[in-house]
Structure 1
Amino acid sequence: MKIIDLTHTITENMPVYPGTDQPSLKIICNHESDGFKETSLTMASHTGTHMDAPNHIFADRTTLDNLPVELFIGSALVIDCSDLQQGKEISMDLINAVKEKADQADFLLFFTGWDQYWGTPTYFGNYPYLTEEVADYLIKSKKKGVGLDVISIDSMSDAYLTIHKKVLADNDFIIVENLTRLGEIGDGLFTFCALPIKFKNADGAPVRAVAILND
């Protein structure tokens, strides 16, 4: 078995969505004076590699702490979108090319290669994003969720959050954003695990996401 960590490390100077406060990691107890170390963490719920709940968009929809834990683990397939140019749509053509495997997966993870820009202004630029047709497929095929190595499943210019609203309106569905190292997984089915911090009425939360590959 091989396990690949798909999670960006949380740091005080990490990239955050424009307008969001930077995380704070303050040491409140240290080895020298207290005999142990403890850190106070302050961050927005959608910091770093994180998960969106339906409640992120809709006030009357499900929060992460009320979703069944089984929703956070399942079979997955990486869809290679790394040849797409900046600002191009992730279309059904890419899924149709691997449709048999895609139909079997609980999660589709889209590898754009955009994580290479993590920590640069380009990361918040014209990244590839999902089309409504892909969103419809995710819903109709009853996926547990979707993941990408970009900041959002919607274009940065889409203030209406069209794709978020489509996939979260009527489904207990999760979105995992800011993944990394998707290009190391390969083209076979594997087990995807993304466990969010559990706090009350969570609209979203940082996750530790991993890919578990059988040898």
Structure 2
Amino acid sequence: MKVMDLTHTISENMPVYPGTEGPQLKTANTYEKDGFKETLLTMFSHTGTHMDAPMHLYSHRTALDAFPIEQFVGKGLVIDCSDLSEGQRITMSYIDKVKEKADQAEYLLFYTGWDQYWGTSSYFGEYPYITEEIAEYLIHSNKKGVGLDVIGLDPISDENLTLHRKLFSDTDIVIIENLHHLGELGNEIFTFCALPLKYENADGAPIRAIAILSE
């Protein structure tokens, strides 16, 4: 068994969605004064590698803490679309190449290679993003979730979050953004775990995402 970490580290100087304040990691207790160390974490619920719930956009829809725990573990498959250039769409042709495996998977993770820009201004640029046709496929194939190695499911220019809304309006699916190292997972199905912080009425939460591969 091989376990791989797909999560960016939370730090005060990490990239955050434009207009959002970055996290603060303040030392609240010290070894010298208190005999132990404790850190006060202050951050938005959609910081770093994180998960969006349908409640993110619709008040009457499902919050993360209302999902059964099984929602956050499933068969994952990486869809390699790293040949795309800035602003190009991820089309169904990428899924059709591995359709049998894609149909079996519960989580589809789109590898664009954009995580190479993490920590630079380019990360907020015209990254590749999915088409409406892929959104329809995700809905009708009853996926547990979709993930990408970019900052958003929608293009950075879409303030309405059209694709988010399409997925969340009637479907209990989760969206994972800012994944890391997807290009190292190959093209076989693996066990994917993405466990969000459990807090009340969670519209989203940072996660620790891992892949468990058979050797």
TM-score, scaled to structure 2: 0.99
Q: What is aligned with 1:188?
A: 188
Deviation at 1:160, TM superposition (A): 1.6
- Is 1:59 aligned to residue 63 of structure 2? no
Q: What is aligned with 1:40?
A: 40
Q: Structure 1, residues 129-187: CA drift from partner, whole Å, max 9, x if none? A: 01100000001111000000001111111122111011111111100000000001000
Equivalent position amino acid for 2:62 in 1: T
Deviation at 1:33, TM superposition (A): 1.4
Residue-pair matches, total: 215
Equivalent position amino acid for 1:150 in 2: V
**Secondary structure of the structure 2 residue equivalent to 1:108:** strand
**Secondary structure of the structure 2 residue equivalent to 1:55:** helix
Give matches, 1:164-203, under 5 Å.
164-203=164-203
Give the unaligned 5+ runs of structure 2.
none
Give the alignment's Cα RMSD to 1 decimal. 0.5
Q: What is aligned with 2:92?
A: 92
**CA–CA distance in 2 between the matches of 1:63 and 1:143?**
17
Q: What is aligned with 1:28?
A: 28
**Secondary structure of the structure 2 residue equivalent to 1:70:** helix
**Secondary structure of the structure 2 residue equivalent to 1:159:** coil
Identity of aligned residues (%): 65
Q: What is aligned with 2:212?
A: 212
Equivalent position amino acid for 1:153 in 2: L
**Secondary structure of the structure 1 residue equivalent to 2:65:** helix
Deviation at 1:70, TM superposition (A): 0.5
Equivalent position amino acid for 1:148 in 2: L
**CA–CA distance in 2 between the matches of 1:71 and 1:199?**
16
Give the unaligned 5+ runs of structure 1.
none
Equivalent position amino acid for 1:8 in 2: H
**CA–CA distance in 2 between the matches of 1:137 and 1:22?**
34
**Secondary structure of the structure 2 residue equivalent to 1:13:** coil
Deviation at 1:30, TM superposition (A): 0.8
- Is 1:122 aligned to residue 122 of structure 2? yes
Equivalent position amino acid for 2:101 in 1: K
Deviation at 1:45, TM superposition (A): 0.2
Deviation at 1:82, TM superposition (A): 0.4
Deviation at 1:49, TM superposition (A): 0.1
- Is 1:107 aligned to residue 86 of structure 2? no
**CA–CA distance in 2 between the matches of 1:105 and 1:152?**
21
Equivalent position amino acid for 2:113 in 1: G
Give matches, 1:139-178, under 5 Å.
139-178=139-178
4+ residue runs of structure 1 moved beyond 3 angstroms?
none
**CA–CA distance in 1 between the matches of 2:119 and 2:24?**
17
**Secondary structure of the structure 2 residue equivalent to 1:202:** coil
